[in-house]
Structures are given as C-alpha cells and as structure tokens.
A and B are shown apart, each in its own frame.
Chain A
Amino acid sequence: MKTIKIVALLAVVLTATHALAAEQLQIDGSTTVGPIGDAFAEAFKDKASITVSKTGSGDGAAALLEGRCDIAMMSRFMKDAEFKAAVEKGIMPVAHAIAMDGVCTVVHPSNPVSALTSEQIRDIYMCKITNWKEVGGADMPIVVISRDTSSGTYETFEGLVMNKEKMGDCVEYVNSNPQMHARVKSTIGAIGYVGLGFLDRNVKALKVNDVIPTRSTIAKGIYPVSRPLFLFTNGYPKLGSMIFQFCTFHLTEEGQEIIEDKGFVAVTAY
C-alpha cells in the first residue's frame, strides 16, 4: 500500500512539473539575425523557454525542414532548392521580414579614400586592383577581406556588388561580422564589408555610388546594398500562439527599439 502511495505521488509530481514546464521554443539560423533573436528571447524569457542556436542561414532552413526548430532565422530568402524540398516534405515556409540590414563597405579610418563605385569594389574583390593608389589613395597594398562563402552577408554582397562574379584568390575570409570589424580596425590597408550595426568610430564607411549608408538611405532603399532579414515559420503561426507573438514582436515599439539598438533598421522606419 505504501509503495503504491509513493508511486502515485511521484507520478503526480512528475506530471505536474511537466505541465508547469514553460512552453518551449527552438530557434535556429543565421548569425546575422542571431543578436535580434537573442534579444527577443530575452524579452520573452518569462513566458517561454527559448533556445537560440546560431549555426547559419542554411542550417536554419534545414532545421525548419526537418521539424527540428519552430522558427528559422535567415539573412537571405530561401533558395529554390530549399523551398522545393520544404514543399515536398509538406512544410509551407512563410517569411516574416523583421528588419532591414545594410551591408556597408568599410576601410580603416586613416584611409583617405572615402568613396568608391561598385565597379571599383568589384575589381578590388576580383583582385584586379591591388594597390590603393589605383583608386586615389596611398601607395599601399590592399588587404581584401570577405565573409565566408556560406554566410548570408556574403551572398548579399556577392549578389548586389559582385554581380555574381567569383572573388579572386587574394581574398581573406573571416567567419563573422565582429571578426571582420576587428580585422579592418587593426589593418591599415584593409577593405571589408559589415552590417550597418557594426559602424563605429573605429572603421570608416565608404560611399558607394555616392550614397552613404545610413538608417534612412537603407530604409528608403536608396542605398543599393541592403537586404531584409527574415524569420521563417512552417505556415502562418496560429494567432496568439508563442510563435505568433515572437514573429510579430518586431511590429511593437519594444521590438523596434530592440532592432534599432542592435544596429539594424526597423522595417517601418520611414
């Protein structure tokens, strides 16, 4: 009799704790959108227990397809192959554009060059121009730095500036925005590209085709190298559910404040 009582009590306690366990949310994906995901997760931490895993846009899409995550953060739209694979598996990916990001070309602040055309940038990255004096700067070799080929930032840069041309083999690769910022900050002859949120007094943003990247030029689409950041879900989330609240948080004032604090442009900025 005693054993049965103990077992019953244990069962009740276990089910109670399981029921009380907060709702779980799994978010995978891009390292660029990662900081926004982290900050949103912090805002929701009393209502749900959220896991944010930053392994890359491609992995986020794969996780969504396999049902391993509830929301996929991606800094690019889904590729055709991914979309097709998703539909075949019965997943309908729905995109929520939560912020805009601009990819700004940066150089060391001591570099006298302050504006380049996109053709010049393309030639630099294809290793046809190798010295700063060819574009009006000092006589110094150009240290060309790029993001690794599987990053969404790289793809935006490749699509909008390189026009899908291959980069030359003098290009160094780094794995993330902060690394890029650190390299350009400490290397006098460097040129690289970072997201808008990484512009500060340690790097200088170049004008591209005479447009300076700022919040308003990106929001209005005047700055050519800008892109939206997405959250992908399987179908439109049920109204009022935790996923729904997460995906519409960018429409609230707090969400926009977070997005701006993280250095991105809120979609409704203008």
Chain B
Amino acid sequence: MSKNTSKPSSNPAAAQFSRPLRLSVSQDLRGLLAKNIGHGILFSITFVSVLAVMAIFYFVVQESVPFIFKGGFRDSLSRVTEFLTSTAWYPQKEENPEYGALAIIVGSLYVTFCSLIIAVPIGVLAAVFLSDIAPFSVRQYCKPIIEILAAIPSVAYGVFAVMVVAPWMQKTLGFSTGTNAINASLILSVMALPTIISVAEDALSAIGREIREASYGLGATRAETMIKVVIPAAHSGIIAAVILGMMRAIGETMVVWMASGNSSRIPSPWWDLSQSVRTMTATIAGELGEVPKDTDHYYVLFAIGLLLLIFTFGLNMTSEFFMTRFKKKSRGL
C-alpha cells in the first residue's frame, strides 16, 4: 500500500492527508452529531407535509363530527342515512331543517362523468398524437400550449362560462337556461384535459420502442399498433391519467359555482344535460359565508367537505396503485 511519504511537519497542507480515512465516533463526535442532527432537521421539515395532511383530516373531521354523531347511535345512523339518500336540502328552514345531500352528491358525480366522457377520448388521442405521430418541433410547440391551458385560473374559466358560454347557449342553442350541467361539464373537461394528456403521454412514451417496432415488423399500421398494442400495454398509466383528471374535475369549485345553475335536484330525464345541477364544492363555497358558526348547518358543510376529502383520497390511492403497477410493468419489460 503506497502511502504519502512526505513528512507531516514540513508541509502543513499535507497534514490533512495523514489522518486516517475513517474516523471512529470519539474522534469525530462533532461530525457525527452534525450529520445526524442535520439529518433529523431535514427529516422533520419534510415530515411537515405529513403533519399538514393529518391536520387537514383532523380539523375537517373535528368540525363534521358534531353533525354525524349527534344524539344516540340510532339518531346518528338516521341522520347519516338521510344525508346520503334524501334529496331534500333545506338547511335554513326554521323548524325542521333537512340535510339531504343526495342531489348534491349526484350533481358532482354527474358533472364529473360528463366532463370525463368529453375529455378522455380527446385526451388519449392527443396523447397518442404527441407521443407517436407528431414531429419533434410540433411537440415542442404543443407542450407550452397545454401548460398554458392548465395554468389559466379557474376564476377566469368561470367568468368565461357565465358571460360568454351561457348567453351563447341560450341564444343559439335555445336552452331555457345557460347555466347548466353541460356548460359546467364543457369547461371542466377543458380543465381536466392537460392533466390527462400529460400523464397519458408519459405513460405512452415509457412503453419502449421495442413493442412498437415488433408490431410494425409484423405489418401492422400505426393505428392498429396504437389501438391494439401500445394502449393496452400502457393501460394502467392511462387509467391513472383518467383518475387524476377525475380528481381535478371533482375538486373544482369556482367554475361549477358560477356555471352550473346551483339547482339542488337530480336532472329528471337523467340524460338531459341542459338542466341545472349543484355540486358539493359549490354548496360549500356558496353557503359557508352565510352560516353562523357552530350551528348544524356549519357542521353539515364540513361533513360535505369530509365526503369530498374521502372521495379524492380514495381516487388518489387508486391512481397511485395503477401508477405503481404501470411502472413495475414498464420496468419489467
């Protein structure tokens, strides 16, 4: 083993190199402490996000518990059942306020599904275009456009929906009301598209070239390759993209508040999109300001928020599951 043979006293700079390379605990207590304490500080700062999530859950649950668990067990059960199954939402009635949130929950789901029906085909096709069909320069231009679409504030979309789309619907399409489910769904699909496109495109790109080349080698056209080979291979990633888009649509507040009409009922022929609906987010945003604190109405609004939180958390977990499955698969291949 060749060692540095210059004497330590003659060259001060070389003195450092005569130390053993690995110090024991007693020799470098300071360094060890610094490293571990530093590690600990960093960890606790990172842990703040976990604390934040727990805090959000805790406080939302704390304020909705008085609504759910009022009275005895049977009372609470009947309240929760009424909440989830009745469509009579009259929280401000003097004598017997009714808290039936079914119409509101259905409204949220209705608008979300309609927007997905519009957004998923367009999104997947656009992702296919960006990953396989477009030349590099076109892709460079398309990415900023999609990012700009994603960056526009929801309030601006809401103003657009109320002041431009709603009058157009009434005048040109002859709907009896311009603020309705289709209006909100259209705008929500535009908002969900960037999410769907970017995640789906990532998924499609992550499928290696080998699969595509194998398919082309067998004589398939590009359409057949995409439809029959690549998309099924990336199906977990695309499902994850759809779920993320759904999360975006269900959690959106300002657009549905301004554009959906806020009429608390389930559309009566269920396919009639031109009727007004009300969503959970719009109910919270619209009523929280007027409500005196610590009343039943206040608690029930937090209960709706809890429902939203549970929905999005569930969707998040599902999309995580699909993403990990997709990553495993694509790595395995």
Residue numbers of A with Cβ under 8 A of B are: 55-59, 61-62, 65-66, 81-82, 85, 141, 143, 148-151, 155, 164, 166, 169-175, 183, 186-187, 189-190
Within the complex, the shortest CB–CB distance from B88 to chain A, in Å, comes to 8
Interface residues on B, range: 20 to 34
Given contacts A148-B286, A150-B92, is CB(A172)–CB(B177) below 8 Å? yes
Q: Which residue of A lies closest to B95 (CB)?
A: A164
The reply to whether A149 and B90 form a contact with Cβ atoms under 8 Å apart is yes
24 sampled A-B residue pairs with Cβ under 8 A: A56-B290, A58-B290, A59-B289, A59-B291, A61-B292, A81-B292, A81-B295, A85-B292, A143-B176, A143-B177, A149-B92, A150-B287, A150-B290, A166-B93, A169-B87, A169-B103, A170-B263, A170-B265, A173-B262, A175-B257, A183-B179, A186-B166, A186-B178, A187-B178
The reply to whether A58 and B291 form a contact with Cβ atoms under 8 Å apart is yes
Give CA–CA (A186, B172) in the complex, Å: 12
Within the complex, the shortest CB–CB distance from A218 to chain B, in Å, comes to 24
Give CA–CA (A108, B167) in the complex, Å: 15
Within the complex, the shortest CB–CB distance from A169 to chain B, in Å, comes to 4
Chain A interface helix/strand/loop/mixed: mixed
Q: In the complex, which of the residues A150, A151, A189 contacts B176, with contact meaning CB atoms closer than 8 Å? A: A189
Residue numbers of B with Cβ under 8 A of A are: 87-88, 90-94, 103, 166-167, 170, 176-179, 257, 261-265, 276, 278, 286-287, 289-293, 295, 297
Measured between beta carbons, the chain B residues less than 8 angstroms from A150 are 92, 286-287, 289-291, 297
The 8 closest A-B pairs by CB, nearest first: A56-B290, A150-B290, A55-B289, A169-B265, A58-B290, A173-B262, A172-B263, A56-B289
Within the complex, the shortest CB–CB distance from B249 to chain A, in Å, comes to 21
Measured between beta carbons, the chain B residues less than 8 angstroms from A151 are 290
The reply to whether A148 and B90 form a contact with Cβ atoms under 8 Å apart is no
The reply to whether B292 and A171 form a contact with Cβ atoms under 8 Å apart is no
Within the complex, the shortest CB–CB distance from B292 to chain A, in Å, comes to 5
The reply to whether A173 and B263 form a contact with Cβ atoms under 8 Å apart is yes
Measured between beta carbons, the chain B residues less than 8 angstroms from A190 are 177
Indicate the member of A57, A61, A183, A189 with the most B CB atoms within 10 Å.
A183
Give CA–CA (A164, B166) in the complex, Å: 32
Indicate the member of B103, B176, B278 with the most A CB atoms within 10 Å.
B176
Measured between beta carbons, the chain A residues less than 8 angstroms from B289 are 55-56, 58-59, 150
The reply to whether B176 and A148 form a contact with Cβ atoms under 8 Å apart is no
Give CA–CA (A55, B292) in the complex, Å: 11
Give CA–CA (A244, B251) in the complex, Å: 44
Give CA–CA (A201, B49) in the complex, Å: 55
The reply to whether B264 and A169 form a contact with Cβ atoms under 8 Å apart is yes
Q: In the complex, which of the residues B94, B261, B291, B292 contacts A172, with contact meaning CB atoms closer than 8 Å? A: B261
Q: Which residue of B lies closest to A172 (CB)?
A: B263
Q: Which residue of B lies closest to A85 (CB)?
A: B292
Given contacts A143-B176, A149-B92, A186-B167, is CB(A173)–CB(B292) below 8 Å? no
Given contacts A149-B91, A149-B92, A164-B94, is CB(A174)–CB(B292) below 8 Å? no
Measured between beta carbons, the chain B residues less than 8 angstroms from A172 are 177, 179, 261-263, 276
The reply to whether A55 and B290 form a contact with Cβ atoms under 8 Å apart is yes
Give CA–CA (A83, B91) in the complex, Å: 19
Give CA–CA (A10, B87) in the complex, Å: 63
Give CA–CA (A57, B292) in the complex, Å: 9
